[in-house]
């Protein structure tokens, strides 16, 4: 699941890949009713036509877009192709959508938008332990620090309280028998060892019991530390904290195999090479990536250090904020620059991105206990980009693209849309990371914990900003990347637009379809969740999952393989449930769809040695991992897209290899 492909690339390539992800969503436009109705925004009295005729310089609060000029025939100017689509930015769209996009882009005029760059100071400059938001004058503190000036050091324990039976507390991913860095709840070798900054993650610090069966896996005894081994200086014992990498690579000393380099920012079997960590947009060149949190240079702020303040050099401003005219007011009493107004020419629609407190994004990245969690890339020993197969990585790619978009604005009064950057993929994958995340307050439900994060983000923007109430949130956009999408969105934000990976329109929307108990939202009280559906095609949008480009498949053009060369009629490769070895045990997994398909067409013998009732040689339904997965899909005419615990990334797999996706779904 976590294999990676090494690419050397510039950040222009990152932006390109992210843009491709957005364009690929056209697949869903052809297959599902997911395009929001433009009438939905009428509550704001916004008429989304093509040409914006107001600007902030005219001090108008209504954004009215003129109808297309008389005599402009969009049907003639943008004809359809053989598939009744219209190409816009090199991607085919449904005719009416493609013409609307192409027409608006062709005739839209730029308007002058006044962007205000903040000059508010933060107390004690955040003590060097955070980043000052110069719009609000508030500190965004690094992991493990808090307070108005980030001067308060937190004590984030790695372990739950111990007991006589479990001296290090019950299991949690951060469990530590060595040195706990209490600013991040991460475990390291610590002072007194040769490599004090080498991670001692999870099983590394505990004794291993031999398997009870000949080919079984070792079991970790979480009650017994293995300090004699990990701290040993005896090369004949399986050590870790004092093991010299060169000697270990030459097999001159032993080392504990359960120890590895899980934390971001380190590379090599023994974590001996410091590398770039993953940050949002890698801090836009205006800061240092501090384990996932952008430590911005003086004069810059924002999650990705892309927002200049009044002291930032004008020549270094981002492309989306190049000024046409500057207005520099000053404080008459002190002479200190308070803010700076820049009139910038932009095309609508304009999107405002909230600079939320870091617990909704940056802290989730900085505190990751597994470098692959919720990101679409990591960096190798040369700091070359390694794209991952993390399906949920599109949430981060979308966020980064919006932050760098030419449609971004700092002027909320002129914005047409508002993006609220809460990274639920990081919240859920990190739910078991450390005690301070307080999953125990949610009876173990990751869905409930995630709902609380979104509710707190809503409360923050209600308190700090005036924009929500003007449309009751209808012009706000939230991203829900996890398996069932926005099913567990708090009731307060349901008016908004939801970006999801599954257009789940099941009629009985009050029933969770996941088989994984921690993500089930059935037990979340209605006074928190409300009684909304999981997806509303009138306002919400389905986006594709993150897929790492497979160089071999692309170079071989597997997607273009003709039908006569596709010898398999129907193909599915994936978990088929409890009837098969290593299958998911829950009867409710995949809502029973995969199990039923295997019962009828299974091409691999189950535990009882049986094939499907209607087994056929040109139908492949197997749980066995394929060594040539993309090739197998390219050899097939039809490919199944079946739910697991929620949406499936096999839609993208099928399209990328030219196989016709067959969506099989249960309507409750």
Percent of the chain with pLDDT over 70: 86
Report the half-sphere exposure of 397 (CA within 13 A, side-chain side): 28
Among 171-180, 267-276, 512-521, 622-631, the least confident range: 512-521
**Cα angle 642-645-651, degrees, rounded to a multiple of 5:** 35
Segment 316-330, tens digit of pLDDT: 999 998 876 787 665
- Collect all residues with Cβ–Cβ distance below 8 Å to 668 and sequence separation of at least 6: 506, 507, 508, 511, 513
Say how far apart CA 186 and CA 433 lie, in whole Å: 9
More confident residue, 17 or 350: 350
**CA dihedral over 370, 12, 22, 113, signed as positive or negative:** positive
pLDDT at 545: 93
pLDDT at 107: 63
pLDDT at 283: 97
Q: How far apart are the first and last CA of the chain?
A: 31
Return the H-helix or E-strand segment holding 99.
Answer: helix 95-107
> Tokens 């993208």 sit at which residue?
652
- Collect all residues with Cβ–Cβ distance below 8 Å to 103 and sequence separation of at least 6: 50, 68, 72, 74, 77, 78
Task: Find the helix packing angle between 11-24 and 394-403, rounded to 10°.
Answer: 110
- How do 351-353 and 619-622 pair as beta strands? unpaired
Q: Which two tokens stand for residue 342?
A: 């820049």
Query: What's the average model confidence in pLDDT over 134-160?
Result: 96
Query: What's the average model confidence in pLDDT over 214-234?
Result: 92
pLDDT at 668: 53
Segment 475-525, tens digit of pLDDT: 999 999 999 999 999 999 999 999 999 988 775 556 888 999 899 998 899
* Beta-bridge partners for 373: none
pLDDT at 379: 96
Among 151-165, 346-360, 547-561, the least confident range: 547-561
SS3 sequence of 566-608: CCEEEEEECCCCCCCCCCCCCCCHHHHHHHHHHHHHCCCCCCC
pLDDT at 336: 55
Q: Is the pLDDT of residue 104 over 80?
A: no
- CA gyration radius, the chain: 27
Nearest-CA neighbor of 46 among 336, 384, 415, 437?
415
More confident residue, 111 or 237: 237
Cβ(52)–Cβ(108) below 8 Å: yes
* Beta-bridge partners for 114: 343
pLDDT at 45: 35
> Tokens 């994936």 sit at which residue?
574
Q: Outline where 582-660 has alpha helix (H).
A: 593-601, 629-634, 650-656
pLDDT at 79: 87
Q: For residue 596, with 0-12 CB atoms within 10 Å meaning exposed, 13-18 middle and 19 or more buried, which class applies?
A: middle
Query: What's the average model confidence in pLDDT over 294-302?
Result: 96
Segment 369-423, tens digit of pLDDT: 999 999 999 999 999 999 998 999 999 999 999 999 999 999 999 999 999 999 9
pLDDT at 494: 96
> Residue 18's pLDDT band (boundaries 50, 70, 90)?
very low
pLDDT at 339: 80
Distances (CA, A) of 583 to 534, 570, 644: 27, 21, 12
pLDDT at 508: 53
How big, in percent rounded to 5, are the helix, strand and coil portions of the chain? 25, 20, 55
Buried residues in 370-402 as b, exposed as e (16+ CB within 10 A): bbbbbbbbbbbeeeebbbbbbbbbbbbbbbbbb
Q: Is the pLDDT of residue 64 over 70?
A: no
Q: pTM value? A: 0.85
Return the H-helix or E-strand segment holding 479.
Answer: strand 476-479
> Tokens 């293995």 sit at which residue?
226
pLDDT at 442: 87
Please count the helices (runs of H) and the strands (runs of E) in the chain.
15, 34
pLDDT at 78: 84
> Tokens 């679409």 sit at which residue?
376
Whole-number mean pLDDT of the chain? 86
Segment 583-608, tens digit of pLDDT: 999 999 999 999 999 999 999 999 99
**Could you tell me the residue ranges of all domains in the chain?**
551-663
């Amino acid at each position: 699941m976590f294999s990676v492909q090494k690419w050397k690339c510039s950040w222009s390539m990152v932006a390109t890949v992210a843009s491709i992800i957005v364009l690929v969503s056209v697949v869903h436009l052809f297959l599902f009713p997911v395009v929001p109705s433009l009438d939905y925004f009428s509550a704001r009295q916004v008429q989304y036509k093509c040409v914006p005729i107001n600007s902030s310089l005219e001090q108008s609060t209504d954004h009215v877009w003129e109808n297309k000029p008389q005599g402009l025939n969009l049907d003639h100017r943008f004809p359809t192709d053989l598939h009744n689509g219209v190409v816009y930015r090199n991607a085919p769209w449904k005719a009416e959508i493609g013409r609307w996009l192409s027409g608006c882009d062709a005739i839209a005029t730029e308007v002058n938008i006044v962007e205000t760059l903040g000059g508010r100071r933060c107390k004690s400059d955040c003590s060097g332990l955070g980043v000052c938001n110069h719009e609000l004058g508030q500190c965004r503190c690094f992991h493990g620090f808090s307070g108005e000036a980030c001067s308060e050091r937190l004590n984030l324990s790695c372990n739950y309280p111990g007991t006589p039976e479990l001296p290090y507390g019950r299991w949690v991913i951060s469990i530590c028998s060595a040195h706990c860095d209490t600013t991040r709840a991460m475990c390291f070798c610590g002072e007194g060892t040769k490599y004090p900054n080498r991670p001692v993650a999870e099983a590394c610090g505990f004794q291993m019991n031999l398997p009870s069966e000949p080919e079984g896996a070792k079991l970790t005894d979480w009650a017994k530390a293995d300090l004699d081994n990990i701290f040993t200086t005896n090369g004949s014992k399986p050590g870790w904290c004092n093991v010299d990498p060169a000697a270990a690579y030459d097999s001159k000393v032993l080392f504990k195999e359960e120890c590895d380099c899980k934390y971001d920012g380190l590379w090599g079997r023994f974590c001996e090479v410091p590398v770039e960590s993953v940050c949002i947009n890698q801090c836009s060149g205006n800061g240092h990536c501090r384990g996932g949190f952008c430590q911005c240079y003086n004069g810059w702020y924002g999650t990705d250090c892309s927002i200049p303040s009044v002291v930032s050099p004008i020549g270094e401003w981002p492309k989306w904020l190049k000024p046409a005219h500057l207005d520099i007011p000053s404080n008459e009493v002190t002479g200190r620059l308070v803010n700076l107004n820049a009139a910038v020419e932009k095309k609508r629609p304009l999107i405002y991105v909230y600079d939320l407190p870091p617990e909704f994004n940056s802290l989730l990245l900085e505190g990751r206990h597994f470098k692959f969690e919720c990101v679409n890339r990591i960096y190798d020993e040369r700091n070359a980009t390694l794209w991952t197969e993390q399906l949920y990585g599109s949430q981060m790619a979308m966020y980064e693209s919006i932050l760098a978009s030419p449609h971004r604005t700092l002027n909320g009064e002129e914005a047409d849309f508002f993006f609220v950057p809460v990274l639920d993929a990081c919240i859920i994958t990190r739910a078991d990371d450390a005690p301070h995340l307080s999953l125990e307050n949610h009876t173990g439900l990751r869905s409930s914990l995630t709902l609380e994060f979104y509710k707190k983000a809503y409360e923050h923007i209600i308190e700090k900003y005036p924009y929500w109430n003007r449309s009751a949130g209808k012009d706000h956009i939230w991203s829900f990347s996890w398996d069932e999408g926005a099913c567990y969105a708090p009731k307060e934000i349901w008016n908004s637009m939801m970006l999801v990976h599954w257009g789940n329109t099941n009629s009985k929307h009050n029933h969770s379809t996941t088989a994984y108990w921690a993500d089930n939202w059935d037990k979340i009280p209605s006074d928190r969740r409300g009684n909304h559906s999981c997806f509303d095609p009138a306002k919400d949008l389905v986006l594709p999952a993150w897929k790492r480009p497979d160089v071999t498949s692309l170079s071989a053009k597997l997607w273009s393989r003709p039908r006569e060369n596709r010898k398999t009629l129907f193909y599915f490769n994936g978990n088929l449930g409890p009837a098969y070895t290593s299958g998911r045990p829950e009867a409710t997994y995949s809502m029973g769809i995969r199990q039923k398909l295997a019962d009828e067409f299974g091409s691999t013998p189950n535990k009882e040695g049986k094939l499907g009732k209607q087994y056929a040689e040109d139908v492949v339904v197997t749980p066995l991992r394929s060594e040539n997965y993309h090739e197998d899909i390219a050899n097939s005419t039809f490919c199944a897209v079946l739910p697991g615990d929620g949406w499936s990334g096999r839609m993208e797999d099928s399209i990328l290899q030219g196989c016709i996706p067959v969506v099989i779904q249960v309507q409750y």
